[in-house]
C-alpha cells in the first residue's frame, strides 16, 4: 500500500513539474513557475505600451493604438495644397469691404481679385477711387502676395472740373505664421510699401501722398464659435506706418472688427479703426481720426462675391467725412473643384476644416 502511494506521489510530482514548464505566457522557460513546485503558477502580465492605448484588432488580437500627432502651430511656409471642404461665405471682417485686414490668405495657388469703387465725402470736396484694383495670390497655404492701385477722381468746391490721377500703389506680403486649430486663433505679419506708381502726376499735382510709406502690420483672428447657430469671428490690427522722406508724419493705426455669418450666402461685419500721427502738424496738433464702418459680403457663385460698406467719422480731431464702398471679389482657383452643398467652396480660410 505504501509503495503504491509512493508511486502515485512520484507521478504527481513529475506531472506538476511538466505542467509548470509548459505554462509559459511569453515563451520563457520557467520549469517550476514563480511559486515553486506546488504553488499556483503565476504568469507574467503583458507589458502595456508607454504611449498610446490597447485596442482590439479584428480577429481578437491586441495591439497598441498609435498616439495622436501633436498639433503644429508655427509655420514658416505651408506648401501642402488641399481644399478644406468649407462651404458658404466667409464672415471674417476684412478689407475689402472694411478698414481692417484679416490673417487669412486666399489659399494655396488661389487668386483673389477685388475690383471696387470708394466715395469719400468731406467738407468742401468729394473724392472717388474708381476703379481700385486689388490683386492677391496665395503661395502655399499661409503666404500671400498683394498689389493694389487706385484711380483717383477729385472734385473740389469752387474748382471747375474734376481732377484725376493714379493713386499710390501698394505692394505687400502677408505671412500667417501662427495657426492654432484647437482654439481657432491665427496670427499674421503683413508688411507693405506704398509709392507713387509710374504714370502718376509729379509734385504738388499728385492727388495722393508724395511720400513712400512702409507699413508693419500685425493681425490676430479669433474664431468665437457659433452664437445661436451663427458663426462669429473677431479680428484685431496693430500697424506702424513709417513715412520715408517728405513732410508726412509717421502714424499708428489700430482696428478691431467682428463678423457674423447670417446665412450661408450672407455675412454681416463691422469695425472701428483709429489712425493717429506721431508728430505735430503746422498748427501744433497731432492729427487723429476714428472711423466706424459696417459692411456685408454676399456669395453670388462659387467664384464671385459682392460686397459693400459705409463708414463715418466717430472721433478724433479731423473734419468729419463719410466713406462708401461697393465692389466684386473674384476667387480664381485653377484645379479646385466645388464640394459641399453646391453653394461653393470658401477658398479664403483654410484654417479650420468644416467651418
Q: What is the pLDDT of residues 311-343, one digit of tens each?
A: 999 999 999 999 999 999 999 987 665 443 333
Residue 28 sits in the same domain as residue 134: no
Residue 219 lies in domain = 111-332
Q: Is 58 in the same domain as 151?
A: no
- Map grid coordinates 484725376 to a residue: 164
Q: Are 65 and 54 in contact (CB under 8 A)?
A: yes
Residues 348, 233: Cα–Cα separation, whole Å? 14
Residue 208 lies in a domain: yes
Q: Are residues 116 and 243 in the same domain?
A: yes
Compute the average pLDDT of residues 135-139.
Answer: 96
Can you read off the three cell numbers belonging to residue 112? 483673389
Q: Taking CA 251 as the corner, what is the angle to CA 196 and CA 319, rounded to the nearest 5 degrees?
A: 90
pLDDT at res. 83: 61
- What's the length of the chain? 355
Residue 118 has pLDDT above 50, yes or no: yes
Tell me, yes or no, whether 42 and 166 share the same domain. no
Same domain as 132, residue 27: no
Which pLDDT belongs to residue 158?
87
Asked whether residue 89 is assigned to any structural domain, the reply reads no
More confident residue, 343 or 258: 258
Classify residue 350: in a domain, yes or no.
no
The residue among 244, 194, 237 whose CA lies nearest residue 217 is 237
Cα(94)–Cα(269) distance, rounded to whole angstroms? 9
pLDDT at 119 over 60: yes
Nearest one of 129, 119, 94, 146 to 269, comparing CA atoms: 94
Between 253 and 81, residue with greater pLDDT? 253
214 pLDDT more than 80: yes
Nearest 10 degrees: Cα torsion 68, 72, 77, 78: 40
- Number of domain units in the chain: 2
Q: What is the pLDDT of residue 245?
A: 79
Question: Per-residue pLDDT for 133 more than 90?
Answer: yes
Please give the average per-residue pLDDT across 98-127, as a whole number.
95
Same domain, 193 and 320: yes
CA distance 304 to 332: 9
The pLDDT > 70 percentage for the chain reads 73
Predicted TM-score of the model (pTM): 0.75
**Arithmetic mean of pLDDT over the chain:** 81
pLDDT of 86 reads 63
Q: What pLDDT is stored for residue 84 in this prediction? A: 56
For residue 45, pLDDT beyond 70: no
Residue 79 maps to a domain: no
Task: With beta carbons less than 8 A apart as the criterion, state whether 103 and 188 touch.
Answer: yes
Q: How many CB atoms lie within 10 A of CB 95?
A: 21
Cross-strand partners of 135: 113, 147
User: According to the model, what pLDDT value does residue 72 have?
Assistant: 80
pLDDT at 263 over 60: yes
User: Do 303 and 204 belong to one domain?
Assistant: yes
What are the angstrom distances between the C-alpha of 159 and each of 123, 154, 205, 206?
A: 14, 10, 14, 16
- Does 152 reside within a domain? yes
Q: Residue 49 falls within a domain, yes or no?
A: yes
Residues 53 and 120 in one domain: no
Query: Which has more pLDDT, 203 or 138?
Result: 138
Most confidently predicted of 56-60, 125-129, 207-211: 125-129
Q: What is the CATH number of the domain that holds 266?
A: 2.40.160.40
Grid cell for residue 316: 478724433
- Say what the pLDDT of residue 148 is: 98
Q: Which of 252, 159, 253 is nearest to 207 (CA)?
A: 159
Q: How far apart are CA 1 and CA 66, in angstroms?
A: 64
Mark whether 152 and 26 lie in a shared domain: no
Q: Quick check: helix, strand or coil at residue 97?
A: coil
Beta-carbon contacts of residue 15 (< 8 Å; ≥ 6 apart): none
Same-domain check for residues 26 and 128: no
pLDDT at 228 over 50: yes
Q: Is residue 78 part of a domain?
A: no
Residue 355 lies in a domain: no
Q: Give the separation between CA 193 and CA 134, rounded to whole angstroms.
A: 14
Residue 7: pLDDT band (50, 70, 90) is very low
CA distance linking residue 261 with residue 352, whole number of Å: 15
165 and 50 both lie in a single domain = no
Residues 123 and 38 in one domain: no
Amino acid at each position: 500500500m505504501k509503495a503504491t502511494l509512493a508511486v502515485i506521489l512520484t507521478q504527481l510530482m513529475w506531472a506538476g513539474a511538466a505542467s509548470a514548464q509548459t505554462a509559459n505566457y511569453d515563451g520563457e522557460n520557467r520549469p517550476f513557475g514563480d511559486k515553486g513546485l506546488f504553488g499556483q503558477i503565476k504568469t507574467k502580465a503583458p507589458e502595456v505600451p508607454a504611449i498610446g492605448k490597447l485596442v482590439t484588432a479584428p480577429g481578437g488580437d491586441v495591439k497598441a493604438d498609435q498616439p495622436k500627432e501633436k498639433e503644429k502651430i508655427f509655420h514658416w511656409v505651408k506648401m501642402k495644397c488641399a481644399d478644406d471642404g468649407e462651404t458658404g461665405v466667409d464672415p471674417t471682417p476684412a478689407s475689402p469691404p472694411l478698414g481692417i485686414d484679416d490673417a487669412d490668405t486666399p489659399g494655396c495657388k488661389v487668386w483673389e481679385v477685388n475690383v471696387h469703387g470708394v466715395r469719400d465725402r468731406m467738407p468742401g470736396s468729394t473724392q472717388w477711387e474708381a476703379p481700385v484694383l486689388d490683386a492677391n495670390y496665395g503661395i502655399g497655404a499661409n503666404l500671400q502676395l498683394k498689389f493694389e492701385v487706385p484711380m483717383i477722381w477729385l472734385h473740389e468746391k469752387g474748382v471747375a472740373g474734376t481732377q484725376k490721377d493714379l493713386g499710390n500703389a501698394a505692394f505687400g506680403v502677408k505671412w500667417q505664421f501662427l495657426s492654432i486649430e484647437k482654439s481657432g486663433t491665427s496670427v499674421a505679419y503683413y508688411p507693405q510699401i506704398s509709392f507713387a506708381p509710374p504714370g502718376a502726376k509729379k509734385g504738388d499735382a499728385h492727388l495722393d501722398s508724395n511720400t513712400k510709406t512702409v507699413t508693419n502690420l500685425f493681425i490676430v483672428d479669433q474664431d468665437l464659435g457659433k452664437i445661436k447657430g451663427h458663426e462669429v469671428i473677431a479680428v484685431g490690427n496693430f500697424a506702424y506706418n513709417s513715412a520715408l522722406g517728405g513732410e508726412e508724419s509717421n502714424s499708428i493705426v489700430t482696428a478691431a472688427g467682428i463678423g457674423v455669418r447670417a446665412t450661408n450666402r450672407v455675412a454681416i461685419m463691422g469695425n472701428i479703426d483709429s489712425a493717429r500721427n506721431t508728430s505735430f502738424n503746422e498748427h501744433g496738433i497731432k492729427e487723429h481720426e476714428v472711423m466706424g464702418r459696417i459692411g456685408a459680403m454676399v456669395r453670388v457663385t462659387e467664384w464671385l462675391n459682392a460686397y459693400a460698406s459705409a463708414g463715418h467719422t466717430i472721433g478724433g480731431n479731423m473734419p468729419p467725412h463719410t466713406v462708401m464702398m461697393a465692389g466684386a471679389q473674384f476667387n480664381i482657383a485653377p484645379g479646385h473643384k466645388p464640394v459641399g452643398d453646391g453653394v461653393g467652396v470658401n477658398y479664403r480660410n483654410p484654417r479650420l476644416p468644416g467651418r
